[in-house]
A and B are shown apart, each in its own frame.
Chain A
Amino acid sequence: MTLAAQYVANGLASGGLYALVALGIVLLYRSSRVLNFAHGDLCTLGAFLALSALQAGWPYAASVAAGLVGAGLASAGFYQVLVRPVREGTVLGLVITTLGFALFLGGFMAWVWGTDTKPFPSPMSDVRVYRLGGVVISELTAGSLAAALVLVALLSLLVQRTPLGLAMRAVAQNPVAAQLLGVPARRVLAATWALAGMLGASAGVLLAPVLLLDPFMMLDPFLKGFAAAVLGGMDSLPGAVVGGLTLGVAESLFAGYVSVKFKATLSFLVIVAVLLLKPEGLFGRPFERRV
């Protein structure tokens, strides 16, 4: 029993980070109908920028903020310069565009920071542990989960409770009608991309101390986030969070009771199962296309 609880706790901790990654993917998919394959690399970019700021002697909070802002600007800039002009193009064209940007970012980071893995400091320790009943959680794990949940809460406040969030939802649902009400759709979309980049960078900064930082650090977490987004329904922000946490727990239980080796494969099984059984995901609306 304690063992199961331990697995669940570990799973929730990684699930919180999957949720953060998934939120960035879903935010863009539902507003721009773009699957952003560069999202993982934007997360890594944010972590690298934060690391450089730290090495330059900036305090931790300021360095993280610099990483978030940098990734946000890169994401919004990518939208303005590359995605928007090809928006009228095909879905495939957009996918290729984001893949291209992902390759560019990977190369850029390898060029600037090198390909060797770097330790990433964190104000939280992974040696100091909390014990709840029989469950052991390190400060770093608990802190990451808490940070992820706080970010999720902030995002949902922004989207559900502010005029900006209302404008974002309006642009996602019906861009033309939104524009005819005076909503500057392009600027709202650019802000959405910036927000997704910042969410991604925060995931990157939280993951870097655990995974060690190199240009390809996010390869695996991005796929997990993508699986979580599919599980949650691609279109739904709460779905991304539930999807992330569910996937994290499922993965941890699978690793504990079945096989550690095939832990990473589980997320692909999830994608396949969702697409076969419930293509709209847990929280997504059934597909309806207007003609």
Chain B
Amino acid sequence: MASPLLEVRGLTLRFGGVVALQDVSLEVRAGELVSLIGPNGAGKTSLFNCVCGLYRPQRGVVRLEGRDITRAAPDTIARMGVARTFQNLELFRGMTVLDNLLLGCHRHFRAGLWEVVLGTGRAVREEVAQRERAEAVLEFLDLQAYRDRPVAALPHGVQKLVELGRALCSQPRLLLLDEPSAGLTAEDKDELRYRLLDARRAFGLTLVLVEHDLRMVMDLSERVVVLDHGEVIAEGPPERVQRDPRVVEAYLGVGA
């Protein structure tokens, strides 16, 4: 059988005496939508950070299509096709929406410094392709009205879409979404859900979703992985995980 798109094996991450992740293993196959849930501080974002190369786990491996990326630099991993969004938005706030999206396309850029300065054929071709992709995503997410506006001035819901758009521009093979619905109104959440489903179909995405909104999780995901205190405590289809007594306990406390 082909190796899974993302494979995490026995990941342990400690900060001093604090254990953020304890022997965590999980697999994501191409085309899947997996949700990662758990109480605050369960280690969901830490796991994302290990996959992206921002944190170095003490033990365990992360593989992307069978290739070990545990110690790879963040920009190398991004170039291999892993994109993510953040809980608290990490946009380039002083730049326009279009510039943010163009940066999303950056991983497809192969021309070096001198080719850009000299304007060689490849550099020009790549720049045109980059712009076309950014405009297409702008249209796909109905963000044309904000195209040339600086990001910092936009409403939170729109900024969330811009961050999603930036990730889509990279045409990721694996997209990690960290609490995409955090801080959104009920209406915006509905919109986001449709956008995600659309994007998944249009871009053939493989998604890992960290999410607190359980309705969104149950609606969207094919598989749910539950983390608590840095350990995987349950895994399976949403209906089953929802009824798992250990999950109920982790969320509501002992004896609930």
Contact = CB atoms under 8 A, between A and B. Distances in A.
B104 interface: yes
Given A169-B92, A174-B92, A181-B103, 14 more contacts: A162-B117, A163-B111, A163-B127, A170-B92, A170-B106, A173-B95, A176-B90, A179-B73, A179-B75, A180-B75, A180-B78, A181-B75, A181-B170, A182-B170
Given A163-B130, A166-B99, A177 B106 contact: no
Nearest to B111: A163
Contact of B107 (A158, A169, A181): A181
Interface of A: 158, 162-164, 166-167, 169-170, 173-174, 176-185, 191, 285
Most chain A CB atoms below 10 A, which of B54, B91, B103, B117 = B103
Interface in B35-61: 52, 54
Contacts of A174: 90-93
A266 to B, nearest CB: 32
Nearest to B80: A182
Interface string B118-133: 0000010011001000
Main secondary structure of the interface of A (DSSP, over half): helix
Interface string B177-199: 00000000000000000000000
15 contacts: A162-B127, A163-B130, A164-B113, A166-B103, A173-B94, A174-B93, A177-B91, A179-B74, A179-B75, A180-B75, A180-B84, A181-B166, A182-B75, A182-B106, A183-B78
A106 to B, nearest CB: 30
Given A173-B95, A191-B113, A180 B52 contact: yes
Interface string B73-111: 111001100011010001111110001001110110101
Contacts of B54: 176, 180
A182 B107 contact: yes
Nearest to B86: A177
A173 B92 contact: yes
Contacts of A167: 103, 106
B116 interface: yes
Given A179-B74, A181-B78, A185-B75, A285 B94 contact: yes
B84 A163 contact: no
B106 A169 contact: no
B90 A183 contact: no
B78 A179 contact: yes
The size class of the interface chain B forms with chain A is: 20 to 34
Contact of B116 (A163, A179, A181): A163
B92 to A, nearest CB: 5
A162 B124 CA distance: 10
Nearest to A161: B127
B106 A183 contact: yes
A169 B95 contact: yes
A80 to B, nearest CB: 15
B116 A162 contact: yes
Nearest to A191: B113
B75 A173 contact: no
A177 B90 contact: yes
Most chain B CB atoms below 10 A, which of A158, A164, A176 = A164
Nearest to B84: A180
A169 B116 CA distance: 16
A27 B111 CA distance: 23
Most chain B CB atoms below 10 A, which of A166, A169, A184 = A166
B156 to A, nearest CB: 16
Contacts of B86: 177
Most chain B CB atoms below 10 A, which of A162, A177, A180, A183 = A180
A158 B92 contact: no
A162 B103 CA distance: 11
B78 A182 contact: yes
B73 A170 contact: no
Interface string B127-165: 100100000000000000000000000000000000000
B78 A177 contact: no
